Each structure stands twice: as C-alpha cells, then as structure tokens.
A and B are shown apart, each in its own frame.
Chain A
Amino acid sequence: MHGYDLIVIGGGPAGLAAALAARAGGLREILIVERDIELGGILNQCIHAGFGLEYFKEELTGPEYAGRFIRLLRETDIEVALDSMVVEITPELLVRVIGRDGERTLAAKSIILATGCRERARGPLGIAGTRPAGVITAGTAQRYVNIEGYMPGKCVVILGSGDVGLIMARRLTLEGAKVLACVEIMPKAGGLPRNIVQCLYDYKIPLYLSHCITEICGEKRVEQVRVARVDENRKPIAGSEFAIACDTVLLSVGLIPENELAQAAGIGIDGENIETATPGVFVCGNALHVHDIVDKVTAEAQRAGAAAAAYVKNGGAS
C-alpha cells in the first residue's frame, strides 16, 4: 500500500494552506483529497470582496484568495485528487477514498482534516408549516446563483442574519430578486456590521431583530411566511404575528463543523486545538470551529501543516 507523508482532506482554504505549510516544513509526499471538481472549496462561490485584508493586506474576492494558494500549489508536486470523497479514516491513519474510478485505501503518516463546515438546515429549527420547494440554505443558494447561474426565487425572506445570508440578500437583489426581509431571532445581527450596511441598508432591506418565522406556508412552492416578535426567551409573542408573501425562504442560521469522519473513527476533536486526540491526525479551519474570516483559517491551517510536518519528521512523536 502506498504511504503518504500527509493526506489533507479538503482542498478549500484550510487544506490548501495546510498542505503548503507541510511542504515548507519538509514533507515530501502530500496528497490533497477534494470532493469537488476543482480546488478552492467554498471560496469559489464567495465572489464578493472582503477576503485577505489580514493575510495579504489587500481586499480580495473569494476566488482571488483561493487562486493565490492554488497557483502556489501548482509550483509544487503536491498531489491532488479531485472529485474524490474520503468516506472513512481510521485511528491507524488509513484513508478510504471514493473517486470517479472507484475506491482505494491509502496509508498516511499524518492526516489533516480540513473538511470545512455545513449549514444548519431547517430541521433543527423545528419550524411548523408545510414543506414546499423554495426553502433553501443560503450557501446552497449561493452555489446556484454564483457557480451554476440560476436564481432560487424571486421574492425572498431571509431567516437568520449570518454573513452568507446577508451576502446573498445583496446578491439576489443585484440579480433582480426582491429581498423582502431579514428575520433574526436574536436582538443583534449575526453577521459582520459591514455586511449589515453594504448588503441590507444599501438596498433598504428591512432587518427584523428579535423576530422569528413561526410558520412556512405553501403547497408546491413557498407562498408566505408568518413572522412574530419574540420575547427574551426567544419565544414568539402572541398577537405579534404578521405574514410576508414570498416564494423563497433562505436559511442563514448557523454553520456546523463537518467532522463526522473523525467522529466515526472515534477521533476526538476539542473544537480549539489543531491536535486531535489521535497522534498524527490534525484538524484546522471550519472543521475545527467556525471562523468569521478566512485569513484566520489560513493562519490556523499553516500551524496544522507545520505541526504535521514536525510530527512526521520526528518519526511520529510530536
């Protein structure tokens, strides 16, 4: 069985920076496994500017930020397996990968989990009502709009004020949709203030703080949502309800580290440290905890890459 010095799982900002740092730290045989058909991860769909102010001291778009690392990677002989999904890792540092050509199991001296995060869907919110088409997470909508070139709706209500939701409020407006409201259950917006200003205020999109969606209505496609003010316990206040007619509900209600691979292998992640409970397995980026800006992901991933390099060069004792 072929053995890599390092297998990096995920080719987004965390995986790219980690692999480059591990190479700088002296590791030779490095493989990045990426499930999409290209490197860059979620940055590819984050076409807005606002990335890189800390790391590059200039304002870049997501694709530009990713592009800088992808070009650096090209100058190395770091291997990349695209369109390939890691379906299992083991505490013995075996990595089972399914790609277009089938399944293979690879051995590694170290592993970096850079699998990013996923969006919280409708389920955990327990919103009552029907289950029509037109309820979609902000990130999925972002992919449809920015990568595939399709609009998920014409009249949109955004639930939650996370950054992706705010960014999509502006993006959908620019592409001709009407964004009717952004509904946030907390008394304070979740996203960065710059996004509140540039994505909501610039386009006169009302932000309803301390409000929630109590019901989603519509048989085939969303027809309306019912919105209510909430009390200090985040419970809807009786009599405060009103309806907004819309065809789409965009969910921007939180991101969850995607660390099921480690979980399934019984590899503990504490949400803070790049070292996992299993020697030789490291984790960084949004798979460790959700970061508000990508520059911090890069810095953390570089530490993870360096740590993996040190671990392997010390013959497995970090």
Chain B
Amino acid sequence: MFDVCIIGCGIVGAAVAYELSRYDLSVAVIEKENDVATGSTKANSAIIHAGYDPEPGSLMARLNVEGNRLAASFCDSLDVPHMHCGALVLAFSEREAATLAQLLQRGRENGVPDLRILPRDEVLEIEPALSGEVVAALYAPTAMIVDPWQYTLALAETAVRNGCSLHLETAVTGIEPSPLGYLLQTSQGFIETRTLINAAGLYADDIHNMVAPPAFHVQPARGEYWLLDKSEGQRVSRVIFQCPSDAGKGVLVAPTVHGNLIVGPNSAPSEGRNDVSTTAQGLHFVRETARKSVPGLDFSANIRNFSGNRAATEHSDFIITEPRPGFIDLAGIKSPGLSAAPAIAKLAVSMLEKGGLALHEKQNFIDMRKKAPPSGRVVCRCETVTEGELRAALHAPIPPRSVDSVKRRCGAGMGRCQGGFCAPRVVDLLAEHYNCKPTDVLQDGRGSHILVSETKRGLCTDTI
C-alpha cells in the first residue's frame, strides 16, 4: 500500500516524485516503458522558457515563471546540464514589432524579470549570424537551455535515492476504487494506493477515464527537429524565436547544452500517440523557416532528425484538477510544461495536502547529486565518454537497460558518428552487466533488438 502512486515518469511525474520524496511517505512511480522520460519529455526543444508567452492569469503563466526559477536551482543542486543563455524573439516587420510590445507587456504581467526590447543594431551585435532583415527583438535573459532528459533522470534518481520506488515496464491497465483509495491493475500485478497522480502525458486521458467521466481528450501535435553537429553549435548563443502566431511559438534555433544546435519544431497533427516519425515536408518546412532567422545554417551538418508529440488537449491551459477525491490530473502539459514541471509538482503536492495527506519532512532528505567523473578507457570517441562513467551509470539508482538509455545518461553515441564506433562496446558492457547475450540487448524500448542472432548458422537455428 502506497500513500501516493504517480502514473508516468516524464518530467511531470519525476518532479512530483522528487517533491514527495522530501516527506515521510511511501511513494511509487509507475512507468510503462523501460526508462524514464520516453515520451514528450524526450523529444522537445529543451528550453526552460522565461514565461512571457502564456496568457496572464493562466496556470501556464504562473507555473512557467515559478518553474523557471525552481529549475535554475534544481539544475545546480542536481547536476543537470543547463545554460542561462537567454532568448530573443525576432520581429521582421513593424507588425511583428507590435507583437513584441504585447509580449513584453504580457511578460511583465506574468512576472518575468528583466525583459526588454532591443533595437536592430543591438540584436545583430550580440547575434551576428541573425538575418539582417530583423527589425527588433524581445530579450528574455531568464530563458535557459537544459538537457530535459537528464533533468528528469536527476529528479527521478533523487526521488529513488530518497525512498521512492520506480516500477519500469509496468503499464496501468485498470483502476478500481478501493476502501482506502485506489487499486491499480498493471502488467506486473496489483498495486494499491491511497492517492493517485495522473502524469501519463500523451495517455493522460486514458488514465483519467479509468477513474472519472471523460473530461478531456489528448490531441497529440507532432513537432519535428534537426539536430546539427557541434561545428554549427556556435552559430547562435541564445535561443532564437520568431514571433509567435496561432500555430505556436514557431521554429526556433538554439544551442544545446551538449554544444550542438537544435532547429525546430513545426506543428503537425500526429497519426497516433506513438507516431514520432519525421516527414520530408515537415523537415523541409523547419529548415526553410529557420533560415529566415539564421540564413547561414548548414544543414549538411545534421546528425539526427527526430520528432516529439506535444501532449495537448482541447483545452488551452494545463489541466490540473482533482476530479475524484485523491485522484489528481496533471494533464495537457504541453509547452511550457518542461519549464513549469517543478511548479506543477509543488501545486500537486499542496492539493494532496489539502485532501488530507499529512506531510512530515524527512530528516535525512538527500538533495544533492553529482554525476560520475571520467575514468578508465574512452568508449565513445566523439563525446569522450569513459568506461568509468558507463559503469557508474549501470550502478546508479535508475540504471540504463538499453543502448539508447546509456546514450541519454552518458552521452556515448550522441556525437557525429551516432554510435557507429561505440555501440558494439556499449552492447558488450550491457550484456556483461545484465549477464545476457548481446542478442538480448535493446537499442531502446521493448522489441528494439540490435542483433538478431549469432553468425555461423545462427539464422538457421534461430527461432524465426
């Protein structure tokens, strides 16, 4: 019996787990995939927004600005790669310049600090690669870039280190009210809990509908990206937005904490919640739109295209409600969800407290995390990742179970050669650690085997 069960270990679920792990409570996180942050959290722009964009008075506005402040402190204490680089919103016409003025006004109402409008010359002085067509820009110095995946891992790991239990590869298939709370039917058996947090992201409506009458519908909107090599990483020093429109915040160009350049996203309806494919048209649109901001972008330096789904619903704001006592929806957490997550978590915990959950602070709460230093031979030559770092990850509170999980934790395989050199070595390390055959090692999620059999009649004797 748990005091709180959290369904979903994306950034929102991890942030709630972290917040709850401060208290003397039994907390579980249930995640259907084999790692944390496999959905929307994994594939987005990796920006902690300043908060000038959301409508004043909305949950998004309040939680974004508060979340931005919390993120800055968590990234320091939990050793999450981040950079306080600031953001520019570019205007290419007088009409767009008027939009900047509105954004400035909105940002000030939302409580975003230090916003100001920069004239053309000043913009081009601090970002010389920008198009000369720019007429002005809104400067938001509190915008940050972060590794969203590491951010989630750091929060989840800290929660686990403080006693929270994480159940990976555990899908919730049904929820029944029970005398003391809720009984979860999962792919790994039954789990009982007093209270329940729905942080299921793209599947939040499915989970909600197991408990309460339908109230919203997740309508995933896909965003496609280019990730360029470090040779392009210095092209801009800040997050470069174009003026937002009804279609969203538009295509951005930004450095990443790993030194690459990220370009995207578009917004296209998704064919399914698992649909993270890219399309020729989508990538073309992103490329051409980005060139309006930064004409000199070299897309031949591309190392990876990817796409992610925004967990949007028909509601414009986040859905943070308690449709049944002890059951809290944290749904529709689209952008700026990554920015708002720690504030969403605090709000959720205060809602649980109001519902009667007693919060007693732990005496020995561990609120520090330090990644392992490099040691031993180099496994990944592009990113200079050592065997010591890989082995440390394998012994961390949430060890990687696949080659991509290793990549997300340690950076091995993230560089120019995309694992061409190090993948066989990482496969060996995983096989050794889990005492399994290399053919059992996964690229990423369930079923994503890298190798199908041994050579020497392996294909004949294999179960085809």
Contact = CB atoms under 8 A, between A and B. Distances in A.
Task: Tell whether any CB of A sits under 8 Å from a CB of B in the complex.
Answer: yes
Interface of A: 35, 83-85, 87, 98-100, 102, 118-119, 121-124, 126-134, 136-137, 139-140, 143-145, 148-154, 175-177, 214-215, 217, 219-221, 247, 260
Contacts of B378: 35, 85, 87, 98
Interface stretch (B85-93, B278-286, B360-368): B278-286
Interface string B427-455: 01000000000110011111111111111
B190 interface: no
5 contacts: A85-B378, A121-B303, A123-B305, A175-B455, A214-B280
B451 A150 contact: yes
B1 interface: no
Chain B CB within 10 A, most for which of A100, A136, A140, A154: A140
A140 B423 contact: yes
Contacts of B301: 124
Nearest to A174: B455
A140 B421 CA distance: 7
B237 interface: no
A283 B216 CA distance: 63
Given A99-B377, A129-B277, A149 B455 contact: yes
Interface string B267-301: 00000001011111011000000000000000111
A61 B157 CA distance: 50
Interface stretch (B117-125, B317-325, B412-420): B412-420
Contacts of A150: 438-439, 451, 453-455, 458
A260 B455 CA distance: 35
A100 B374 CA distance: 11
Contacts of B454: 149-151
Given A98-B386, A118-B421, A133 B455 contact: no
Nearest to B300: A124
Given A150-B454, A150-B455, A126 B302 contact: yes
Given A122-B418, A151-B451, 10 more contacts: A35-B378, A87-B378, A98-B377, A118-B416, A121-B416, A123-B303, A126-B299, A149-B456, A153-B452, A175-B458
A175 B459 contact: yes
B384 interface: yes
B455 to A, nearest CB: 5
A83 B299 contact: no
Interface of B: 226-227, 274, 276-280, 282-283, 299-306, 374-378, 381-382, 384, 386, 416-421, 423-424, 428, 438-439, 442-460, 464
A176 B459 contact: yes
B455 A145 contact: yes
B276 A130 contact: yes
A128 B268 CA distance: 15
Given A83-B377, A126-B305, A151-B451, A121 B418 contact: yes
Nearest to A131: B306
A250 to B, nearest CB: 12
A213 to B, nearest CB: 11
If over half of A's interface residues share one DSSP class (helix, strand or loop), that class is named, otherwise mixed; here it is mixed
Q: Which of B226, B227, B444, B452 has the most chain A CB within a 10 Å cutoff?
A: B452
Nearest to A118: B417
Contacts of B438: 148, 150
Given A119-B417, A247-B452, A128 B277 contact: yes
A256 B81 CA distance: 30
Contacts of A145: 455
A100 B424 contact: no
Contacts of A122: 304, 418
A312 to B, nearest CB: 28
Nearest to B460: A176
A145 B226 CA distance: 31
Given A128-B277, A151-B458, A123 B451 contact: no
Contacts of B423: 140
A216 B302 CA distance: 17
Contact of B277 (A100, A130, A144): A130
Nearest to B231: A263
Nearest to A102: B375
B292 to A, nearest CB: 19
**Which one of A121, A132, A133, A221 has the highest number of Cβ atoms from chain B below 10 Å of its Cβ?**
A133
Contacts of B459: 151, 154, 175-177
A133 B444 contact: yes
B268 to A, nearest CB: 12
A247 B449 CA distance: 10
A125 to B, nearest CB: 8
Contacts of B453: 150-151, 154
**Most B CB atoms within 10 A — which of A123, A132, A143?**
A123
Contact of A123 (B302, B375, B455, B456): B302
Nearest to B446: A220
Contacts of B277: 128-130, 215, 217
A98 B376 CA distance: 7
A148 B234 CA distance: 39
Contacts of B302: 123-124, 126
A218 to B, nearest CB: 9
B413 to A, nearest CB: 10
B362 to A, nearest CB: 38
Nearest to B227: A123
A247 B459 CA distance: 13
Contacts of B456: 149, 175
B448 A220 contact: yes
B447 A126 contact: no
A67 B194 CA distance: 68
B464 A154 contact: yes
A240 to B, nearest CB: 14
Contacts of B280: 128, 214-215
B267 to A, nearest CB: 17
A219 B378 CA distance: 32
Contacts of A121: 303, 416-418, 420
A217 B278 CA distance: 10
Nearest to B442: A133
Contacts of B455: 145, 149-151, 175
B442 A176 contact: no
Contacts of A35: 378, 381
A273 to B, nearest CB: 23
B375 A220 contact: no
A140 B460 contact: no
A98 B442 CA distance: 29
Nearest to B224: A128
Given A126-B302, A151-B454, A177-B459, A221 B447 contact: yes
Contacts of A84: 377
A175 to B, nearest CB: 5
A140 to B, nearest CB: 5
